[in-house]
């Protein structure tokens, strides 16, 4: 037996397990795109992905440990903006550098016409994407249901697996 209901719309099941800005994009982009195509979508937010459900998303990005990440400037002439600045590793650990890198990346994304993570999440909610918070992670890191956007539901591995079993596409991002 594959799908319980052959007439059901296509379904996408995602696991969002990382909470940095760069890792926050793939699940929200895929979830909104699938929702826009009329698919049913469920995202399981677990481990470091769980803070993406917080009312105030604090997702930042770190060039440290991200060796392929290009450092771009979001201002100036196009040629200048396209330069990938080589940043010495020692500088990446300087206090405040992550905040600077996050600000520059957010501005670069905005300039290019990419929606912000809060905007994408709001669209996902509008498209009825099911946002499932991992109960175990909540207990481990001390989050309460009230900390999350009210559209979130709570579940465990079995809850997600049952949902994913009926999905056409399942991805871990």
Nearer Cβ to another protein (37/157): 37
32 in contact with another protein (CB under 8 A): yes
Nearer Cβ to another protein (59/133): 59
In sequence order, the 6+-apart residues with CB closer than 8 A to the CB of 37 are 10
Count of residues engaged in binding another protein, rule: CB under 8 A: 16
Alpha helices in 37-88 (DSSP H): 78-81
Angle between helices 21-36 and 117-126 (to 10 degrees): 30
Sole window of 36-44, 52-60, 130-138, 152-160 interacting with another protein (rule: CB under 8 A): 36-44
Nearer Cβ to another protein (123/171): 123
Q: Site for another protein (CB under 8 A): which residue of 12, 13, 24, 39?
A: 39
Task: Round to whole Å and give the CA distance between 156 and 15.
Answer: 12
Task: Round to whole Å and give the CA distance between 12 and 157.
Answer: 16
Tokens of 125: 């909610």
Task: Round to whole Å and give the CA distance between 147 and 125.
Answer: 16
Sole window of 27-35, 59-67, 143-151, 153-161 interacting with another protein (rule: CB under 8 A): 27-35
142 in contact with another protein (CB under 8 A): no
Residue 148 DSSP symbol:
B
Q: Site for another protein (CB under 8 A): which residue of 54, 73, 127, 169?
A: 127
Point out which residues bind another protein (CB under 8 A). Answer: 10, 29, 32-33, 35-39, 112-115, 120, 123, 127
């Amino acid at each position: 037996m594959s799908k319980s209901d052959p007439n059901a719309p296509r379904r996408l099941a995602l696991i969002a397990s990382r909470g940095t800005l760069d890792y926050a994009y793939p699940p929200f982009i895929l979830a909104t795109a699938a929702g826009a195509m009329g698919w049913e979508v469920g995202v399981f937010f677990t481990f470091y992905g769980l803070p993406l459900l917080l009312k105030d998303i604090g997702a930042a990005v770190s060039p440290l440990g991200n060796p392929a990440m290009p450092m771009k400037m979001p201002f100036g002439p196009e040629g200048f903006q396209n330069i990938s600045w080589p940043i010495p590793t020692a500088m990446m650990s300087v206090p405040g550098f992550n905040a600077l890198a996050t600000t520059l990346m957010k501005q670069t994304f905005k300039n290019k016409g990419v929606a912000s993570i809060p905007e994408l999440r709001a669209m996902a909610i509008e498209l009825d994407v099911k946002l499932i918070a991992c109960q175990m992670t909540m207990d481990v890191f001390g989050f309460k249901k009230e900390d999350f956007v009210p559209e979130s539901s709570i579940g465990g591995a079995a809850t997600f697996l049952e949902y994913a079993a009926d999905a056409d596409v399942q991805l871990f991002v």
